[in-house]
Structure 1
């Protein structure tokens, strides 16, 4: 892979980047509030760690079942129009979820399929956004743009949950879904403003052939293959920790919805710091070593609330996990963005996106039962041990020397 030298000119002078960022701002704002509101809603409806785990598992099934094909479709369509369709689809899912909680005696029957489709549309939107960024920006700005998007997501992870926590005090949780519909519609309008010229039309091979080409491109890049295997593990441990940490905060530490939102805000503050320094640290030590160290230090965040169970320590854990974990995410996204051509990026992103989430539905579905069997603290320690072993094994591979 060719190392990208960061340019001296500002990314903020690129109009297309600014429009993409502003559209993603509102979509991400809605997503951050939704990611907090949904598990809290499920907890209020069921008071069950098992149901919370199952709901999160269902949310990640689209990545497992559909991401491969979404990547192929995105490479064949106008990515701007596709992104707008995904935003409208999310609005419909939110409307269904709101109506179910408002009117149905057993709203979970509607919440589960709505959550599945919500994440399917979310993945379709982000896959297309990556492709648009690849086309709209020079190669020299790709890593910087990725880091700035990551910082923006972390900023929203700070303010979004705090605002949603206040909203949850003012009204029933499901009423927040109406606000989210407004945010996604604003993102739709912003994206509509961006001039976008699709890549020159090409003759696309059949779907299975296109998937095969994507697999071949991924298989040829051994570094990306190793990173993908590691991400399967760390995504699972991270997802299990986060969903059961919310249950731990509510059921064990007896925290209110607003206090839980402060945990997510601490995560966002950490993410902002991580996003701001990731570029600089990568220049000094290289992408591979930064990725490995991030995975290793993130395991400490998993263990902290198990060793010292309290609200301040849990908040510190969220801060550490996000600040360090975001660096690993930037490394992963940047490598993929830089290593593959625009014609293959959608397919490779779809394939890796599916693989990245391979263990998450199973881990999340099992996490609630593991809490009942082992206890939350033991589950946190188990996640930390698995994460640390993953970092050690990755250190023995070629990834360590990736710049």
Structure 2
């Protein structure tokens, strides 16, 4: 990895092995990071390149890259590079596959780091040693950050896999990333206690309140920040065990919310496509159903940074550490095993394990994969009370409370 030696108007500089100063253009425009090593011999030439970049950042290509591309095109041996246009096509592919914006941003972050250390190296000529050298540099610099190392390897392997299978510009023999192994994830519960008590989650939920923001001149106007969407997200995590990406897709309208009548505590179902491609149907109570419908009406789930800020503020107000939304899914599983109750539809039904045994399947997994088409699956009910005086009460929640549902 380069050792940065200074800064200039367009980015940073470092000294290469030959003792020459290398000028790196590093700018963020409209949320997109541009990083390019320039073929400038002095600051004057570097500033000239910066002027060209500012004229049209999206179309900018350093002169050195233009010359190299022209030479390779003439020789008929064009390199496969980890450059911005190719990465943008890869991110577009990930979007078409249903990967979330958060996932795509993470991939872009790690690929930008790879692009910096692999600058000028064609992926066809890349060696396993080059990859390991870069990884060892990051690993040493970050004092053994195994999760980041795992994410970096996963990002470059996914990118090269796309180049092989979708773009068809890289062969198996040319792909050095195939020899890279992704470090296995260590269960976090082996490192520390994971999950929360129902009581702590109830306290944080009840403490999620909006506030007047001095930043936007709201003081004294009575206008407060909108936090109901954060309560809705927390509720779906805690009461349904939903993953954050599932809530994101549901809020964007990629899932279907259905209201049911006459099914007792089961007020409705939520249907969405799992990231594996499997259709997943989940039964929910009236409160969770209302939360899902509000998020869909909103059109999107709140941003992760906003959820963290609101939850951190609420937890601090009741003397607790901030809750991690990902750990609420773990908490749901623990609570369900310890004190959950299975609520079946009023119409009844036989558990899938019994059906599998009856038709001769050794595992219910096969039955579920090829035969199950349950419209109202059983629901796991938890003895958790998530209540806030500002929560809207939907019609079906009121009917259920009145006993007329």
TM-score (norm 2): 0.21
Q: More helix per residue: 1 or 2?
A: 1
TM-score (norm 1): 0.21
Q: Looking at CA atoms only, which structure, 1 or 2, has the larger radius of gyration? A: 2
Structure number with greater CO (CA < 8 Å, separation at least 6) is 1
